[in-house]
Amino acid sequence: MKPAAGRRGYFAIGAERISKPMNLGAILRTAHAFGASFAFTIKAHHNVLDMEMADTSRASGHVPLYHYGSAAELRLPEQCTLVGIELTEEAIDLPSFRHPRNAAYLLGPEDGSISPKLQEKCEFVVRIPTRFCINLGLAAALVMYDRSICLDGWTERPIMPGGPELGPAKSWPAYFQPDPSR
């Protein structure tokens, strides 16, 4: 596992008009795993908050979750860029997108698109280059994974198949070092 010491900036993940507790639970669980600073919903369906069974990592105790009743109520920190994730012709393909240091990623509902009012608020609209829409929780995970790959200081991938050579044991992180007491 890569230490988070090299991470700079912060990010949040949210969804507009989300209606399925399992999707919100998956988003929170993944946000917790990738180190999101907070998560949010806008105009969420009332039953989405009943996600106890879906939040298996108890992420809601580690990642603050904010609920907004409308697009007008959405409040983000200063210098936080709102990035819409939407399958549109005009959107930037995710593999070509440079993530802002401080970003809040917004996904649309399970059965629709980000509202025009919120799309206007987005500084960027990004699409995951798939042939059709994918599950909301999976889309959120892909965006967070891509952000991690791009901004968390991972080394370039090797030219040949396989992983990078780590060299002698002394170059491995301390938590992988053999226990001298054994």
Q: How far apart are CA 125 and CA 93, in angstroms?
A: 9
* Rounded average pLDDT over 167-179: 49
Distance between CA atoms of residues 161 and 81, nearest Å: 36
User: Which pLDDT band holds residue 54 (cuts at 50, 70, 90)?
Assistant: low
More confident of the two residues 12 and 61: 12
Q: Which residue in 131, 129, 80, 132 sits closest to 106, CA to CA?
A: 80
For residue 63, pLDDT beyond 80:
yes
Does 87 score more than 60 pLDDT?
Answer: yes
Give mean pLDDT, residues 45-49: 79
pLDDT of residue 180: 56
150 versus 165: the higher-pLDDT residue is 150
What CATH number was assigned to the domain covering residues 9-67+80-151? Answer: 3.40.1280.10
- Residue environment code for 71-90, b if the CB has 16+ CB neighbours within 10 A, otherwise e: beebebeeebbbbbbbbeee
Q: Can you tell me the mean pLDDT for 134-154?
A: 93
Q: Which residue has the higher pLDDT, 89 or 171?
A: 89
